Amino acid sequence: PKELPLKGQKVVVTAGPTRELIDPVRFLTNFSSGKMGYAMAEAAANLGAETVLISGPVSIDAPSNVTLIPVESAKEMYDAVMEQFYTASIVIKTAAVADYKPKEVHSQKMKKQQGDSMIVLERTSDILAELGKRKTNQLLIGFAAETNDVVHYAKSKLEKKNADYIVANDVTEAGSGFGTETNSVTLVGKDDVELHFAHLPKKELALQLLQTILKLENDELK
Ligand code: PMT
Protein backbone atom coordinates (compact mmCIF):
# COMPACT_ATOMS: atom_id res chain seq x y z
CA PRO A 1 0.00 0.00 0.00
CA LYS A 2 1.27 3.47 -0.88
CA GLU A 3 -0.68 5.21 1.86
CA LEU A 4 0.02 4.62 5.54
CA PRO A 5 -3.36 5.22 7.22
CA LEU A 6 -2.23 3.59 10.47
CA LYS A 7 0.91 5.69 10.91
CA GLY A 8 1.24 6.82 14.53
CA GLN A 9 -1.20 4.17 15.79
CA LYS A 10 -0.47 1.07 17.82
CA VAL A 11 -2.17 -2.15 16.73
CA VAL A 12 -2.15 -5.25 18.95
CA VAL A 13 -2.82 -8.60 17.24
CA THR A 14 -3.19 -12.00 18.92
CA ALA A 15 -2.55 -15.17 16.94
CA GLY A 16 -2.11 -18.91 17.15
CA PRO A 17 -3.41 -21.45 19.65
CA THR A 18 -2.86 -21.56 23.40
CA ARG A 19 -1.50 -24.51 25.35
CA GLU A 20 -3.15 -25.57 28.60
CA LEU A 21 -0.92 -27.88 30.59
CA ILE A 22 -2.21 -31.18 32.00
CA ASP A 23 1.17 -32.25 33.38
CA PRO A 24 4.82 -31.42 32.46
CA VAL A 25 4.62 -33.39 29.16
CA ARG A 26 0.97 -33.00 28.04
CA PHE A 27 -1.35 -30.15 27.09
CA LEU A 28 -4.70 -29.23 25.49
CA THR A 29 -4.57 -27.15 22.32
CA ASN A 30 -6.20 -26.68 18.87
CA PHE A 31 -5.27 -26.59 15.18
CA SER A 32 -4.54 -22.85 14.80
CA SER A 33 -1.35 -22.39 12.75
CA GLY A 34 -1.08 -18.64 13.37
CA LYS A 35 -1.23 -17.87 9.64
CA MET A 36 -4.33 -15.66 9.78
CA GLY A 37 -3.17 -13.68 12.82
CA TYR A 38 0.35 -13.23 11.45
CA ALA A 39 -1.19 -11.99 8.19
CA MET A 40 -3.30 -9.48 10.14
CA ALA A 41 -0.18 -8.25 11.97
CA GLU A 42 1.80 -7.91 8.73
CA ALA A 43 -1.06 -6.01 7.07
CA ALA A 44 -1.29 -3.60 10.04
CA ALA A 45 2.47 -2.99 9.95
CA ASN A 46 2.41 -2.48 6.17
CA LEU A 47 -0.33 0.14 6.67
CA GLY A 48 2.07 2.02 8.94
CA ALA A 49 1.05 0.85 12.44
CA GLU A 50 3.43 0.15 15.29
CA THR A 51 2.39 -3.49 15.59
CA VAL A 52 2.61 -5.85 18.58
CA LEU A 53 1.93 -9.52 17.85
CA ILE A 54 1.04 -11.64 20.89
CA SER A 55 1.30 -15.23 19.74
CA GLY A 56 0.79 -18.73 21.08
CA PRO A 57 3.23 -21.45 19.97
CA VAL A 58 3.36 -21.71 16.15
CA SER A 59 5.96 -22.84 13.63
CA ILE A 60 5.95 -19.79 11.33
CA ASP A 61 8.22 -16.73 11.57
CA ALA A 62 6.93 -13.35 12.68
CA PRO A 63 6.94 -10.57 10.06
CA SER A 64 10.13 -8.51 10.43
CA ASN A 65 8.27 -5.22 10.99
CA VAL A 66 6.30 -6.30 14.08
CA THR A 67 7.22 -6.80 17.77
CA LEU A 68 6.60 -10.40 18.81
CA ILE A 69 5.53 -11.30 22.35
CA PRO A 70 5.45 -15.12 22.62
CA VAL A 71 3.04 -16.69 25.13
CA GLU A 72 1.81 -20.21 25.86
CA SER A 73 -1.36 -20.37 27.95
CA ALA A 74 -4.63 -18.42 27.80
CA LYS A 75 -3.63 -16.81 31.11
CA GLU A 76 -0.29 -15.63 29.68
CA MET A 77 -2.07 -14.27 26.61
CA TYR A 78 -4.60 -12.49 28.85
CA ASP A 79 -1.82 -10.81 30.87
CA ALA A 80 0.14 -9.78 27.75
CA VAL A 81 -2.95 -8.31 26.06
CA MET A 82 -3.99 -6.34 29.17
CA GLU A 83 -0.49 -4.88 29.44
CA GLN A 84 -0.65 -3.58 25.84
CA PHE A 85 -4.31 -2.55 25.77
CA TYR A 86 -4.27 0.98 27.16
CA THR A 87 -1.69 2.24 24.66
CA ALA A 88 -3.35 0.52 21.68
CA SER A 89 -5.77 2.09 19.23
CA ILE A 90 -6.82 -1.18 17.55
CA VAL A 91 -6.89 -4.71 19.02
CA ILE A 92 -7.37 -7.68 16.68
CA LYS A 93 -8.09 -11.02 18.36
CA THR A 94 -7.35 -13.71 15.80
CA ALA A 95 -5.98 -16.19 18.36
CA ALA A 96 -7.84 -19.43 19.03
CA VAL A 97 -7.78 -19.14 22.81
CA ALA A 98 -8.67 -22.24 24.82
CA ASP A 99 -12.08 -21.89 26.46
CA TYR A 100 -11.20 -24.51 29.08
CA LYS A 101 -8.10 -25.53 31.00
CA PRO A 102 -7.43 -28.47 33.32
CA LYS A 103 -8.49 -27.48 36.84
CA GLU A 104 -5.41 -29.14 38.26
CA VAL A 105 -1.95 -29.14 36.63
CA HIS A 106 -0.06 -32.21 37.82
CA SER A 107 3.49 -31.39 38.85
CA GLN A 108 4.70 -34.90 37.88
CA LYS A 109 3.94 -36.85 34.71
CA MET A 110 0.58 -38.60 35.22
CA LYS A 111 0.92 -42.37 35.49
CA LYS A 112 -1.18 -44.88 33.54
CA GLN A 113 -3.92 -46.48 35.57
CA GLN A 114 -6.45 -49.27 35.04
CA GLY A 115 -9.53 -48.22 33.08
CA ASP A 116 -10.78 -44.73 32.23
CA SER A 117 -9.33 -41.53 33.55
CA MET A 118 -10.88 -38.07 33.99
CA ILE A 119 -9.52 -34.56 33.58
CA VAL A 120 -11.72 -31.90 35.14
CA LEU A 121 -11.76 -28.69 33.08
CA GLU A 122 -12.53 -25.14 34.16
CA ARG A 123 -13.23 -22.04 32.08
CA THR A 124 -10.42 -19.67 31.08
CA SER A 125 -11.05 -15.91 31.20
CA ASP A 126 -12.53 -14.50 27.98
CA ILE A 127 -9.98 -11.91 26.86
CA LEU A 128 -12.15 -10.30 24.19
CA ALA A 129 -15.14 -9.95 26.52
CA GLU A 130 -12.92 -8.32 29.16
CA LEU A 131 -11.55 -5.87 26.56
CA GLY A 132 -15.15 -5.10 25.59
CA LYS A 133 -15.82 -4.08 29.19
CA ARG A 134 -12.63 -2.04 29.56
CA LYS A 135 -12.51 -0.31 26.19
CA THR A 136 -12.48 3.46 25.96
CA ASN A 137 -11.46 4.58 22.46
CA GLN A 138 -9.99 1.35 21.17
CA LEU A 139 -11.41 -0.37 18.11
CA LEU A 140 -12.02 -4.00 18.99
CA ILE A 141 -11.95 -6.64 16.24
CA GLY A 142 -12.68 -10.26 17.18
CA PHE A 143 -12.66 -13.42 15.12
CA ALA A 144 -15.14 -16.28 15.46
CA ALA A 145 -14.53 -19.83 14.33
CA GLU A 146 -17.90 -21.43 13.66
CA THR A 147 -19.13 -24.65 12.08
CA ASN A 148 -22.80 -23.66 11.59
CA ASP A 149 -25.02 -20.53 11.53
CA VAL A 150 -21.78 -18.57 11.12
CA VAL A 151 -23.21 -15.05 10.78
CA HIS A 152 -25.87 -15.60 13.45
CA TYR A 153 -23.31 -16.62 16.07
CA ALA A 154 -20.91 -13.85 14.98
CA LYS A 155 -23.64 -11.25 15.52
CA SER A 156 -24.35 -12.57 18.98
CA LYS A 157 -20.61 -12.49 19.84
CA LEU A 158 -20.42 -8.89 18.55
CA GLU A 159 -23.06 -7.87 21.07
CA LYS A 160 -22.13 -10.11 23.96
CA LYS A 161 -18.44 -9.20 23.85
CA ASN A 162 -19.03 -5.51 22.97
CA ALA A 163 -16.70 -5.75 19.94
CA ASP A 164 -16.81 -3.32 17.01
CA TYR A 165 -16.35 -6.03 14.38
CA ILE A 166 -16.32 -9.81 14.28
CA VAL A 167 -14.63 -11.67 11.45
CA ALA A 168 -16.74 -14.82 11.15
CA ASN A 169 -14.81 -17.80 9.90
CA ASP A 170 -16.64 -20.88 8.59
CA VAL A 171 -14.08 -23.51 9.52
CA THR A 172 -15.90 -26.36 7.77
CA GLU A 173 -15.56 -24.85 4.26
CA ALA A 174 -12.74 -26.26 2.08
CA GLY A 175 -9.72 -23.93 1.90
CA SER A 176 -10.95 -22.00 4.92
CA GLY A 177 -10.17 -21.87 8.63
CA PHE A 178 -7.47 -23.65 10.63
CA GLY A 179 -4.11 -24.29 8.98
CA THR A 180 -5.10 -23.41 5.39
CA GLU A 181 -3.28 -20.91 3.12
CA THR A 182 -6.60 -19.31 2.09
CA ASN A 183 -9.67 -18.24 3.98
CA SER A 184 -13.34 -17.28 3.50
CA VAL A 185 -14.93 -14.99 6.08
CA THR A 186 -17.85 -12.65 6.70
CA LEU A 187 -17.12 -9.30 8.33
CA VAL A 188 -19.92 -8.45 10.74
CA GLY A 189 -20.31 -5.02 12.34
CA LYS A 190 -22.86 -2.68 13.86
CA ASP A 191 -25.56 -1.11 11.63
CA ASP A 192 -26.03 -4.47 9.89
CA VAL A 193 -22.61 -4.47 8.24
CA GLU A 194 -22.24 -7.93 6.68
CA LEU A 195 -19.54 -8.30 4.00
CA HIS A 196 -18.37 -11.60 2.57
CA PHE A 197 -14.77 -12.26 1.45
CA ALA A 198 -14.44 -15.52 -0.45
CA HIS A 199 -11.44 -17.77 -0.77
CA LEU A 200 -8.49 -15.37 -0.65
CA PRO A 201 -4.87 -16.00 0.41
CA LYS A 202 -4.72 -15.08 4.11
CA LYS A 203 -2.26 -12.19 3.50
CA GLU A 204 -4.47 -10.65 0.82
CA LEU A 205 -7.58 -11.15 2.95
CA ALA A 206 -5.92 -9.51 5.98
CA LEU A 207 -5.13 -6.36 3.98
CA GLN A 208 -8.65 -6.22 2.50
CA LEU A 209 -10.24 -6.67 5.94
CA LEU A 210 -8.20 -3.86 7.51
CA GLN A 211 -8.73 -1.50 4.58
CA THR A 212 -12.48 -2.19 4.62
CA ILE A 213 -12.72 -1.59 8.38
CA LEU A 214 -10.73 1.66 8.13
CA LYS A 215 -13.01 2.85 5.33
CA LEU A 216 -16.17 1.99 7.31
CA GLU A 217 -14.78 3.85 10.34
CA ASN A 218 -13.82 6.90 8.24
CA ASP A 219 -17.24 7.03 6.58
CA GLU A 220 -18.83 7.00 10.01
CA LEU A 221 -16.80 10.05 11.08
CA LYS A 222 -17.95 12.06 8.05
O1 PMT B 1 -4.29 -19.72 12.78
P2 PMT B 1 -4.88 -20.24 11.49
O3 PMT B 1 -4.51 -21.69 11.24
O4 PMT B 1 -4.57 -19.33 10.31
O5 PMT B 1 -6.49 -20.26 11.65
C6 PMT B 1 -7.21 -19.06 11.76
C7 PMT B 1 -8.38 -19.16 12.79
C8 PMT B 1 -9.42 -20.17 12.28
C9 PMT B 1 -7.82 -19.60 14.15
C10 PMT B 1 -8.97 -17.73 12.89
O11 PMT B 1 -9.41 -17.27 11.65
C12 PMT B 1 -10.14 -17.65 13.87
O13 PMT B 1 -11.29 -17.89 13.55
N14 PMT B 1 -9.82 -17.27 15.14
C15 PMT B 1 -10.78 -17.24 16.27
C16 PMT B 1 -10.92 -18.63 16.81
C17 PMT B 1 -11.75 -18.69 18.04
O18 PMT B 1 -11.24 -19.00 19.07
O19 PMT B 1 -13.01 -18.36 17.92
P20 PMT B 1 -14.02 -18.29 19.16
O21 PMT B 1 -15.38 -18.15 18.54
O22 PMT B 1 -13.81 -19.43 20.11
O23 PMT B 1 -13.68 -16.97 19.94
C24 PMT B 1 -14.26 -15.72 19.60
C25 PMT B 1 -13.32 -14.57 19.92
O26 PMT B 1 -13.10 -14.51 21.34
C27 PMT B 1 -11.95 -14.66 19.26
O28 PMT B 1 -11.58 -13.36 18.85
C29 PMT B 1 -11.05 -15.16 20.38
O30 PMT B 1 -9.72 -14.68 20.24
C31 PMT B 1 -11.72 -14.55 21.61
N32 PMT B 1 -11.52 -15.35 22.84
C33 PMT B 1 -12.01 -16.61 22.98
C34 PMT B 1 -11.84 -17.31 24.17
C35 PMT B 1 -11.13 -16.68 25.23
N36 PMT B 1 -10.92 -17.31 26.38
N37 PMT B 1 -10.66 -15.43 25.06
C38 PMT B 1 -10.86 -14.76 23.91
O39 PMT B 1 -10.43 -13.60 23.77
The pTM of the whole model exceeds 0.90: yes
Cα 116 to middle of ligand 1, angstroms: 31
* Residue 126 domain flag: yes
Ramachandran bin of 108, using left for φ above 0, alpha for ψ from -120 to 50, beta for the remaining angles: beta
CA dist., res. 192 & res. 203, Å (int): 26
CA-nearest residue for atom 21, ligand 1, is: 144
Q: Which of 156, 214, 213, 146 is nearest to 185 (CA)?
A: 146
Q: Which residues are catalytic?
A: 30
What is the pLDDT at residue 143? 97
Residues of the chain with pLDDT under 70: 1-2
Number of domains forming the structure of the chain: 1
What is the pLDDT at residue 1? 59
* Residue 95 domain flag: yes
CB 44 within 8 A of CB 55: no
Question: ipTM greater than 0.85, yes or no?
Answer: yes
Residue ranges lining ligand 1, Cβ < 6 Å: 32-37, 74, 93-97, 99, 124, 126-128, 142-145, 157, 169, 171, 177-179
- Host domain of residue 189: 10-105+120-221
Q: Which of 150, 211, 154 is nearest to 176 (CA)?
A: 150
For residue 182, the SS3 value is strand
CB 180 within 8 A of CB 145: no
222: CB partners within 8 A, 6+ apart: none
Please report, for residues 173, 186, 193, the alpha-carbon distance to residue 149 in angstroms, rounded to integers and kept in the order given: 13, 12, 17
* CATH number of the domain bearing residue 91: 3.40.50.10300
Ligand 1 mutation pick, 33, 128, 131, max ligand atoms within 8 A of CB: 128
What is the pLDDT at residue 219? 87
What is the pLDDT at residue 222? 72
* Residue 1 domain flag: no
For residue 52, the SS3 value is strand
* Residue 114 domain flag: no
* Residue 216 domain flag: yes
What residues pair up with 166 in beta bridges, in sequence order? Answer: 142, 188
CB 128 within 8 A of CB 141: no
